[in-house]
Structure 1
Amino acid sequence: MKSVTVIAAVAGLGLGGLVGASTFFAWPLLDRTTVAAPPSHPVFSEVEWPYPSDEWGKGKAFRCVAADCGAEVNLYVRAKIGFCNCKTGVADDAELDRLSDFRLMGEKLSVLGPGHPINVAWMKGRSRAYAIADPYRARNSALAIAFNDRCDAIVATAVVAHDRPAAIEPGVIEFLNSKTVVHWAEITLGL
């Protein structure tokens, strides 16, 4: 009887170890929010501006569907005339935060890291990633992007339907450098 108990105990421990090991190694595979790699040239389509008018007026809104961007991306772009630091432009994260349209991103934001310089046409600016922590929405993230021409800023907000905004940032910057956005910026800034 003793040998049967020992064999059962060893088999139980072995089976438990096997279950534990498979759980440990399979755990990363249980995250079902994997994002397809974004294409090298995402396709943004213009949509109607979804927000009520405020002191900055309406801007331009664009959407890139998951099939074209790896996840749905909603991009909102608008001008803030005379609101940028005329001497330094959008040179640091404090200026980017001051210019950003945080209301478009949601109420509960957390910074994912420091911002970094970007270029859009002849303008220089910054981009910074945020996580949106809203218990009533799916996991989203956002990019706050601002660039300027003298004292005038163009502010872009990209809301991404996953928690890794860095994956889509190159495509968003590429679209901001497109004829569609640059031409709109020239007209809006009176250039």
Structure 2
Amino acid sequence: MRFIVAQVLIAITVRTKAIVIKKTPANEYDQIVDLYSEDFGAMRAIAKGICRPKSVQSLHLETLNLVEFEVIHGKVWPIISSAVMLNQHRNIKDSLPKLAAAQFFTEVLDKIAYENEKDAELWNFLNTMLADFNNADDTQVLPVHGAEVMKLFKDNQSRFLKVLGYDHAFLAGGDFDLDAFFVNTVGRPLSSLNFLYEVTK
């Protein structure tokens, strides 16, 4: 994510809802957590002790979880003082095609989102997209290997473009390559895209 100094997060304690986008190690026991929040857009905070064996936060702050959490002022990053998982999107995590498809959108978002820029449309898209994949029936709507997972994926790609500000005329070019557009927008290959095509062969 592209980050600027977020004074509102430095000055006060903040409580909001967010989707966990990714986590990276900070040291032996801590992790940096990238989130997309309802009230502040992209956020980055540190989860203290999350890698300890008895950490409760580790279950709540899994990638793709919808969480309600609180952050307080820290020396470098805001510190997550509490987190409660509201939806873990378990059906996505139990299906490789669903997981790959959902991670495509969070990977793109991670590269293009700016910190502390609330975007209700983008927040609603992210939650609706996750609900689409989570609620779909693997055996009927999204067979583990089949065309339907790609149809839902492409539908959400088109919706994502519109949320980002591209109108219908832009999408009406016939052979418009949605995958190439997002790769070019991010500026590098997307590992989640390769993963998706591998698991839906």
TM-score range, shorter chain: under 0.3
TM-score (norm 1): 0.22
More strand per residue: 1
Larger radius of gyration: 1
TM-score (norm 2): 0.22
More helix per residue: 2
